[in-house]
Amino acid sequence: MGAEYGFNFKFLLLYLLLVMHMASQCVDGKGGAMDDSHGEEMHGEHVHTHDHPPSHMDHMDHSLLVFFTMNDLKVGGTMPIYFPKKDPSRSPRLLPREDANSIPFSYEKLPYLLQFFSFSNGSPQARAMENTLRECETKPIKGEVKFCATSLESMLDFVRGVFGLESQFKAVSTTYLTQSGVLFQNYTIRAAPREVPAPKMVACHTMPYPYAVFYCHRQETENKVFVVSLIGDNGDTVEALAVCHLDTSQWGRNHVSFKVLGIEPGSSNVCHFFPEDNLVYVPVQTASNNLINVM
């Protein structure tokens, strides 16, 4: 490991305390739980139209406020949503494949990794790393293909494996048009949601780790992808990426969305908004022209 590589890691670690603290607030189920089928990056709750967040939400982590159902996708509908804002200058970056492959990425190697990154046992950083490694090694649910990408090259290889080696695809994400810095507020749907035709899709969710790790997965069950134009009470305008899962029958009963929505597995579709730093890959021929191409 060269001196330049070591310097890059010291630089990345400067951000880690903030990143890990935010991620460790939602470490139930998926180590930060950032995937649709196991726990997504858990910031959502389904709520029917309200003028103000209902009082029972005072007892719920606002980071869970991203879940809803397709019935809520109506012009003029209002729901409280937590949209974390990313700071590119503080966000860990994907490492080049060669650098990523030089570092073990295994729960079995956790003691070595904690020593490598100078984290003590039981620290928030150690717990977040443990949860991420455990989740990445958890077997996929029925009908799911999953992969934890530790480099851009490995992420794109996984996507090509899903779409086909000669396929063309692009990554789309939530886009903030204006923002006030308020993370949690009521948002109103300004226009009819735009569906992105996506016969196949790969969702990639950020995981808490010293460098960027994405939990990427593809589900065989039917999903719908939407772009939803939102305006917040504080004036924030967001082109929000949302995915609706039409079949939840294979999801575990403890999935947080069921608790938030008050439903049972398989009884309803479950939708959720994507934070800005999560990605959805779709075939390029079906990607809407008004989506942001981030790759």
The mean per-residue pLDDT over the stretch 245-253 comes to 86
Residue 136 to residue 171: CA distance in whole angstroms: 21
Residue 38 to residue 151: CA distance in whole angstroms: 22
Residue 51 to residue 109: CA distance in whole angstroms: 49
- Neighbouring CB atoms inside 10 A of 259's CB total 14
Q: Which helix (H) or strand (E) holds 20?
A: helix 3-23
Interior angle at CA 232, CA 228 and CA 235, nearest 5:
120
Residue 130 to residue 221: CA distance in whole angstroms: 29
Residue range 83-107, pLDDT digits in tens: 887 777 777 888 999 999 999 999 9
Predicted local confidence at residue 3, as pLDDT: 37
Which of 244, 243, 213 minimizes the C-alpha distance to 149? 213
Residue 96 to residue 28: CA distance in whole angstroms: 30
Q: Give residue for tokens 């935010």.
A: 22
Question: The whole model's pTM is what?
Answer: 0.73
Residue range 7-46, pLDDT digits in tens: 333 333 333 333 333 333 333 333 333 333 333 333 222 2
Residue range 49-60, pLDDT digits in tens: 222 333 333 444
Residue 35 to residue 255: CA distance in whole angstroms: 11
Residue 230 DSSP SS3: strand
Strand ranges (E), the chain = 34-35, 40-41, 67-68, 78-82, 144-149, 169-172, 175-178, 184-189, 194-196, 202-207, 213-219, 223-232, 237-245, 270-273, 279-283
Residue 196 to residue 262: CA distance in whole angstroms: 28
Residue range 119-157, pLDDT digits in tens: 999 999 999 999 999 999 999 988 889 999 999 999 999
Q: Give residue for tokens 């995981």.
A: 207
For the CA atoms of 36, 38, 43, 45, the dihedral, rounded to the nearest 10 degrees, stands at 90
- Beta-carbon-side half-sphere exposure of residue 151 (alpha carbons within 13 Å): 13
- On the question of pLDDT at 62 being above 70, the answer is no
Residue 63's pLDDT band, with cuts at 50, 70 and 90, is low
Residue 91 to residue 43: CA distance in whole angstroms: 19
Residue 138 to residue 117: CA distance in whole angstroms: 23
Q: DSSP string covering 64-88, please?
A: GBTEE-GGG--TT-EEEEE-PPP-T
